[in-house]
Amino acid sequence: MDTKLLKTFLEVTKTRHSGRAGESLYLTQSTVSFQIRQLETRLGTILFARHRNNIHLTAAGERLIAYAESLINTWLQAKEEISHRSLNTEFLIGPTISIWEGCLINWIQLIYQKHKEHSS
């Protein structure tokens, strides 16, 4: 599922106008309309009833709101968790024996004690 379609759906739901939704999302009105049609096609249902300058949600559109919000929030949480985990990288030290014995052993032990959750 492409979350941009859901974001567009939620913005149109909020503004009730594809032009204003486009301004908020930095998209053209035609792009917003196209994305809504794509979402409707994928779901196999009409999400908005359109009458001249009046757009309102259908029953299916009303039901989709909670799912769209939940999916976007879940995706954002996953991205944050994955990117946070990917920041943890290995730390390799290759000192000479004299430096290792002189000071690095104590330093490494302090690091392990302070960051036990990261040691493996």
Residue 51: the pLDDT is 82
Q: Is it the case that residue 81 has pLDDT exceeding 90?
A: no
Domain ranges within the chain, ordered by starting residue: 3-86, 90-120
Asked whether residue 119 carries a pLDDT value surpassing 60, the answer given is no
Min mean pLDDT across 3-12, 34-43, 81-90 is at 81-90
Q: Is the pTM of this model over 0.85?
A: no
pLDDT of residue 95: 63
State which amino acid sits at residue 3: T
What is the chain's mean pLDDT, rounded? 85
For the chain, strand residue ranges (E) read 48-51, 54-57
Q: Is 83 helix (H, G, I), strand (E, B) or coil?
A: helix
How high is the pLDDT of residue 50? 86
3-86 CATH pick, 1.10.390.10, 3.90.76.10, 1.10.10.10, 3.40.50.300: 1.10.10.10
Return phi, psi of residue 119, to 5°: -85, 145
| 82 vs 23: which has the higher pLDDT | 23
Q: Where would I find the H helices in 53-119?
A: 59-86, 97-99, 105-114
If you average pLDDT over residues 87-108, what whole number do you get? 66
CA angle 27, 11, 15 (to 5 degrees): 100
pLDDT band at 120 (very low <50, low <70, confident <90, very high): low
